[in-house]
Structure 1
Amino acid sequence: MGKTTQIDAYAKETFSFTMSNEQVATHDVYTIGQGNKVVIIIQELPGIGQETLALADKFIEQRYVVVLPHLFGPIGKTAITSNLFRVVCMRKEFSIFSKNESSPIVDYLSGLCTLIKERYQVKGVAVIGMCLTGNFAISLMANDAVLAGFASQPSLPILNSSAIHMSAGEISAIKAKLDLVGPMHCGRFEGDILCTAKKFEVLDKTFNTDDKERIIFHELPGKGHAILTLEFVDKAGHPTRKTFDEVVGYFDQQLT
């Protein structure tokens, strides 16, 4: 692959949506690419850095339209510590310590998924959530506009691997939707201290009930964290590349 496409090459718009807490969230949304497949990549805590832009390029090569909602932090570089402070302060949109309920920003992202599906007149869209936003990819499966999802190292609620960052009502709706469209995918490194083995166990026991596999889990060797970005190795046979290829194949099947 050549030089990473920078954010100034993307089309930019502002999207606002009233969330269930009656607060209005407004964020810039960046779009690039052509094709009849659409993926919405939700940024992780480090931000929309070069690794996330490189991930977008990989989907562009696969003839995807890529949509990047910019939720917090600078663009083009990573800023983990300052972004964490930003998110903690964005209480009307993020409730990163909450259990048995999702963050309000999921409503905003759901509205964006619906808008994008209608705009491009596609069968549905795919979503990727990573780290802080990994759980959101699971929650968004309840939206009729979303046909495929990959939750990469889902880490919420922070500091509580035994809890679920979704309400009972959300879980029921997600399960019903996955029964209709087929299982989604979820990934982590075996040694990840943020997205722990306990987190996968809880998700498995929550969703893979009634002898139905609603989430397909990928556990990669090693102690990394960011499967598709910071720890991604674009080399045939590498576990991160293998996971990416499997996810693209799954997205292609669901969207076309």
Structure 2
Amino acid sequence: MSPSTQIGPEFGAFDFTHDRRTHEVFRGGTGPAVLVLHEIPGLHPGVVDFARRLIAAGYTVYLPSLFGRPAAPATGREMARTMVRVCVSREFTLLADRTSPVVGWLRALAATAFRECGGPGVGVVGMCFTGGFALATALEPSVLAAVMSQPAMPAPIGERGRAALGLDAQDLATITARANDNLRVLGLRFTNDRGCPPERFATLRTTLGGAFEGIEIDSSPGNAAGIEPSAHSVLTISLVDEPGHPTRVARDRVLAFLAERLRG
């Protein structure tokens, strides 16, 4: 069975190469383009379900497989296997003030998606390990909407790491200029999530000003919605798809945000 069949018949697959880097990309739907950047361990069923939701809402979804095995479940074993490979990969920089090399590849994919799909621009949704990549991909001018769901990198170690965005100074200046123009950014996190600390959202608010909208879902012990204090993945693993639940409200806001930016 091919990986695209495992993910779903609504997706086709192709290899995308830029600057001597090649990754498989799954593409489905019609309408304005949205790149969905998966979390660790990879394109697990929760990420694919979110992509299907976007397809149903009228978007062309691009699902690059950056690491891990497409369609593999998000088990502890898969996560451990992926983390070992990611940590030794030269594509991903874990430093607080360095832009990861893979961002150049993602920017090229976003530009290609814009040429293929048209519309006012492109949306990018990043999750956990790739949450910050959604912002960095906005170095590409066609990206008008960036969604950072629980951005966990750079590693939140020390005061500097907790506040860092994982961009070098020149790239951060470019993103700031774009935020003063036509870029808008939406961030999602659980309040008790140590992997995505509040200092990171404070940096985003200071740096991007009114271009940044932050949604912080109460996951403190004894919270009204019964969310586990260990909750992390807002749009996938920790999502409770019931009307009125805070994670469902957050996901619906993501859909509305993309519609505002990509459908006018």
TM-score by length of 2: 0.87
4+ runs deviating over 6 angstroms: none
Residue 182 of structure 1: CA displacement? Answer: 4.8
- Which residue identity is paired with 1:134? G
Q: Alignment partner of 2:162: what SS?
A: coil
- Which residue identity is paired with 2:202? E
Residue 203 of structure 1: CA displacement? Answer: 2.6
Go from structure 1 to structure 2 and tell me whether the alpha carbon gap of 1:31 and 1:155 turns closer, same or farther (over 3 Å shift): same
Structure 2 residue 47 is matched with structure 1 residue 52:
yes
Corresponding residue number in structure 1 for 2:223: none
Query: What does 1:120-159 align with in structure 2 at a 5 Å threshold?
Result: 120-158=117-155, 159=157
Q: 1:123-149: CA deviations, max 9, x gaps?
A: 211000011000111112221111111
Distance 1:37 1:241 in 2: 23
Q: Alignment partner of 2:124: what SS?
A: strand
Q: 1:151-210: CA deviations, max 9, x gaps?
A: 0011111132133310111111111112211531111000001001122223323332xx
Distance 1:42 1:242 in 2: 21
Q: Contact 1:128–1:137 (CA<8 Å) still a contact in 2?
A: yes
Between 1:51-60 and 1:176-185, the stretch displaced more is: 176-185
Corresponding residue number in structure 1 for 2:65: 70
Distance 2:164 2:37 in 1: 22
Distance 1:116 1:249 in 2: 21
Go from structure 1 to structure 2 and tell me whether the alpha carbon gap of 1:59 and 1:6 turns closer, same or farther (over 3 Å shift): farther
Corresponding residue number in structure 1 for 2:224: none
Corresponding residue number in structure 2 for 1:25: 21
Q: Contact 2:144–2:184 (CA<8 Å) still a contact in 1?
A: no
Q: Alignment partner of 1:181: what SS?
A: coil
Distance 1:15 1:130 in 2: 21
Mark the runs of 5 or more structure 2 residues left unpaired by the alignment.
220-228
Distance 1:154 1:206 in 2: 16
- What CA RMSD, in Å, does the superposition of the two structures yield over aligned residues? 1.4
Distance 1:182 1:39 in 2: 15
Q: Contact 1:127–1:137 (CA<8 Å) still a contact in 2?
A: yes
Go from structure 1 to structure 2 and tell me whether the alpha carbon gap of 1:84 and 1:66 turns closer, same or farther (over 3 Å shift): same
Q: Alignment partner of 1:106: what SS?
A: helix
Q: Alignment partner of 2:13: what SS?
A: strand
Go from structure 1 to structure 2 and tell me whether the alpha carbon gap of 1:163 and 1:149 turns closer, same or farther (over 3 Å shift): closer
Structure 2 residue 93 is matched with structure 1 residue 95:
yes
Distance 1:72 1:183 in 2: 27
Distance 1:191 1:106 in 2: 29
Corresponding residue number in structure 1 for 2:225: none
Q: Alignment partner of 1:180: what SS?
A: coil
Q: Alignment partner of 1:216: what SS?
A: strand
Distance 1:182 1:11 in 2: 29
Distance 1:8 1:163 in 2: 36
Distance 2:200 2:36 in 1: 22
Q: Contact 1:175–1:214 (CA<8 Å) still a contact in 2?
A: no
Corresponding residue number in structure 1 for 2:190: 189
Q: Contact 1:39–1:64 (CA<8 Å) still a contact in 2?
A: yes
Mark the runs of 5 or more structure 1 residues left unpaired by the alignment.
19-23
